[in-house]
Structure 1
Amino acid sequence: MNLNSISCAIRILNLNHKIIPSTLNIFRFCRNNFTSIMNKPSVYITRQVNEEALDILREHCEITSWTGEGPVPRDELLRKIEDKNALFCMLTDQINSEVLNKAGKKLQIVATMSVGYDHLDVDEIKKRKIKMAYTPDILTDATAELTVALLLATSRRILEANEAAKNGEWKAWSPFWLCGTGLQNSTVGIVGFGRIGQEIAKRLKSFKPKNIVYYNRSEKADEAKLVDAKRVTFDKLLAKSDFVIVSCSLTQDTQHLFNENAFNKMKRTAIFVNTSRGGVVDQDALIKALENKIILGAGLDVMTPEPLPLHNPLFKLKNCVILPHIGSACIQTRKEMAILCAKNIIAALRGEELPSELII
C-alpha cells in the first residue's frame, strides 16, 4: 500500500457513514505518518544485544543485525553496512576505510559498545565528519572488580591450588606448600590512573598495602589523595612495585610499553596484571620473563591475538593466569553498555548531544 491508496481509502470510508470510526482513524494515522514511517533511519548491529537496547532503537529506526555465532564475518559486515545511517559495533570489529567506503555518505555515527576504541580508525572517521560514541564509566566498577580478582588469583596461586586439589596432589596441610604473595605492606603500582585505575586503587586500599604509586600522562592529585597514591616515573614504578597493574588505553605511545627492557626493571618477586589491552604488552618478552623467572607471575585478561591460540606458551606456564577478556562481563553492566550505545545512536540521528560522544 502506498500513500495514494491510503488517501483513496479514506475518501471511500468518509462516504460510508456506517464505517467504524476507529477504522477511519487508523487509516488517517497511516496517511499522516506514512512518510516518517518509510523514512526511518537504518542501523546495523554487529552482534546480538539485549531487548532493552533493541527496543530503544526499534522505536526510531529500522534494524539489521548479525545473529550468528561469534563476531560478524568481514564480508557480511561489508555487505550489510551499505547505506546504513548508524553502526552499532563491538571491539572485535575493525572499522576502517574499507567499512566506511562501503557504508557510503549516509553513515552518521559509529557507536562502539566498549570503552576502548583502538579498533576504530579514528582519523578516517573524523575526516568523514562521522560522529563516534563509546561506553565509558558503566564498565568501570566491573573491570576494577575483575582486576582485583585476577590479581588475587595470580598472587595467591588459586588456579594452581584448585588443580592440585582435583588431581590428587593435595596429601595433607603443609606449612609452605602453594604459598603466594600478599598485598599487605606491599607497593602496588598502577599504570594508567584514569577511571578504572582509580577504582582499582580504591578496592586495593582495603588490603593494607604500604604504598600505592601510579604512572600517568597527567597529574591526578585530587583523585590520588583519596587513596593516598603518589605519582612516579614509569621506571620508578617498575623498580619499586610488588604488583604492577596495567589500566591504560592502547595508543601509539603505549604500544608494547611493557617490553623486555621494562620486565627486566621489575622485581623478580613482582606480579604483573593486565586488564587493559593486549597490545600494551610485548607478549614474547612477557613469555621470556615468566619462563626465566625475571618476574614471579602474570595475570592476563587481554592478549594478542584474541582468542589466544591453544598452543601459545602462556597456557603452559603455571605462573600465568589467563582469562578470556571478561573484564566487564557482569550481566547488568553489559546490558547498560548496550542501552547507552543505543541512546548514543538515537541522539546522533536526531542531531542532539550524545550521552557519551568520543571526542579526540
Structure 2
Amino acid sequence: MARIVVTRPLIEGGLSGLRESHTVTVCDPPDGSSRSEEELIALTDGADVLLSILADPVTERLFEARSGLQMVAQYAVGVDNIDLEAAEVHDVAVTHTPGVLTDATADMTWALLLAVARHVPAADQHVRDGHFERWETTLMLGMELSRKTIGIVGLGRIGAAVARRALGFGMDVVYHNRHRANPTIERQTSARYVDLDDLLATSDVVSLHCPHNEDSHHLIDAAALERMKSSAILVNTARGPVVDENALVDALETDEIAGAGLDVFEEEPDVHPGLLEQDRVVVAPHLGSATTDARMRMAQMCTASIEAFLDGAENVPHRLV
C-alpha cells in the first residue's frame, strides 16, 4: 500500500480508484495560497507518490530531501513547475494529463474573445446598475468577428481546436509555430503559416497557445504589441509569462491595442494592477480546464498513471520521465 499525497482537493470521485488500494492524503492550504518549496517538502514526508498541480514547486531540493518519492503525477498538461532533469537523475517518474483539456481550453479562449469583442462584462454591469433605459445606437459598439483574421501562436492541440471554432465564425486563420504544422492540420483548420511579425501585423485577434520556455518568455513584449493593429484583441490562455504584462498595460493605456482576454498571468495568482484598472480587459482565474468533464478526465488520467506505475507496468500512460 503506497502513500499518495495530493496537493489540492480534486473533483468528487476522481480519486476513488486510488483510495481503494492506497493511503491517499488530500491537502489544501487553509488560506488558499500557493505552497513554497519548503512547505511542499514538509508535505511529502513519507510519500511514495505526489499528485501535483502547476503551482507546486517540484524542485531538485524536493527530490534530494524526499529520497523515498517514486513518482510525480502532474494534474495538468504543462510541467513548467517540475525539474524534469532532476527527476530523471533521482529516478522519479513524472506523468501529466495531455489532450483531455483541449476542448475546454479552446472554449475558454472563445469565451474570453467574445467577452472582450462584445463588451460582455461591461454590458452585464450596465444592466445590473440600472442604466439600461432604452436601446441605443452607439452603446458599447464591438468587433464583429466574421471576415476578420485570427492569428494563432502555437497550432498544437488547443490552437487547432481554436482554429476549427474560428471557421464557424467565418474568420480567416493564420498561425505561427517554431516549426510548420502537419499539412493535415493545416487543411483541417484552413490555417496559413506566416512568420510572427506578419501574424501580429495582420491579425484582428492574436490568440496564444504556445508553451512557456526560454524562447517564448515575453514573446509578446512592447515591440510585439506595437506591431499589432490598434483595433486588435490579445487573448492568452497559454502561460502568463509569454506576455510582458508591463508592456501590455502600457499598450492598453496608449491605445496600441483594443483589448485583452487573460486566463493566465505572469505572477499567478497576483495580477498586474494596471490590468484590473482597464475596462477593456477581461480576466479569469485560470479556468481553461475548468469543466466537470475535463477535470474528471484529468483525475482519472492521474489515477491510471499512478496505478500503472505502482503495479510495475512497463508502459505507464502519459509518462514524461
Counterpart among 236, 242, 260 of residue 280 in structure 1: 242
Give unmatched runs, 5+ long, in structure 1: 1-39
Pair 1:61-2:42 in alignment: no
Q: Which residue of 1 aligns with 2:13?
A: 52
Contact 2:80-2:212 at 8 Å conserved across structures: yes
Pair 1:134-2:96 in alignment: yes
Q: Which residue of 1 aligns with 2:41?
A: 78
State the distance in 2 between where 1:189 and 1:51 align.
38
User: Percent identity, aligned pairs only?
Assistant: 37
The Cα offsets for residues 266-293 of structure 1, whole Å up to 9 and x where unpaired, read as 0111010000110100000000001100
State the distance in 2 between where 1:188 and 1:72 align.
34
Counterpart among 122, 134, 141 of residue 179 in structure 1: 141
Q: Which residue of 1 aligns with 2:62?
A: 99
Q: Tell me the SS of whatever aligns to 2:289.
A: coil
Pair 1:313-2:274 in alignment: yes
Contact 2:264-2:285 at 8 Å conserved across structures: yes
State the distance in 2 between where 1:117 and 1:93 align.
10
Residue 307 of structure 1: how far off its partner (Å): 2.1
Structure 1 or 2, whichever has the larger Rg, is 1
Counterpart among 103, 113, 116 of residue 154 in structure 1: 116
Give unmatched runs, 5+ long, in structure 2: none
Give 1 or 2: higher helix fraction: 1
Contact 2:236-2:261 at 8 Å conserved across structures: yes
Q: Which residue of 2 aligns with 1:215?
A: 176
Q: How many pairs does the alignment contain?
A: 317
Q: Which residue of 2 aligns with 1:203?
A: 165
Amino acid at match of 2:165: R
Q: Tell me the SS of whatever aligns to 1:53.
A: coil
Contact 1:113-1:337 at 8 Å conserved across structures: yes
Q: Tell me the SS of whatever aligns to 1:214.
A: strand
Contact 1:108-1:349 at 8 Å conserved across structures: no
Deviates more, 1:215-224 or 1:141-150: 215-224
Q: Which residue of 1 aligns with 2:50?
A: 87
The alpha-carbon distance between structure 1 residues 50 and 173, as it changes in their structure 2 partners (threshold 3 A), is closer
Residue 61 of structure 1: how far off its partner (Å): 2.1
State the distance in 2 between where 1:78 and 1:326 align.
27
The Cα offsets for residues 88-114 of structure 1, whole Å up to 9 and x where unpaired, read as 01111111122212211x222111100
Q: Which residue of 2 aligns with 1:333?
A: 294
What TM-score, normalized to structure 1? 0.84
What TM-score, normalized to structure 2? 0.94
The Cα offsets for residues 157-193 of structure 1, whole Å up to 9 and x where unpaired, read as 1111112222243332122210111111101100011
Counterpart among 215, 218, 221 of residue 253 in structure 1: 215
State the distance in 2 between where 1:98 and 1:271 align.
41
Residue 354 of structure 1: how far off its partner (Å): 1.6
Amino acid at match of 2:55: T
State the distance in 2 between where 1:78 and 1:225 align.
48
Amino acid at match of 1:216: N
Amino acid at match of 2:146: Q
Q: Which residue of 1 aligns with 2:307?
A: 346
Amino acid at match of 2:256: I
Counterpart among 188, 203, 215 of residue 226 in structure 1: 188
Deviates more, 1:177-186 or 1:45-54: 45-54
Pair 1:193-2:170 in alignment: no
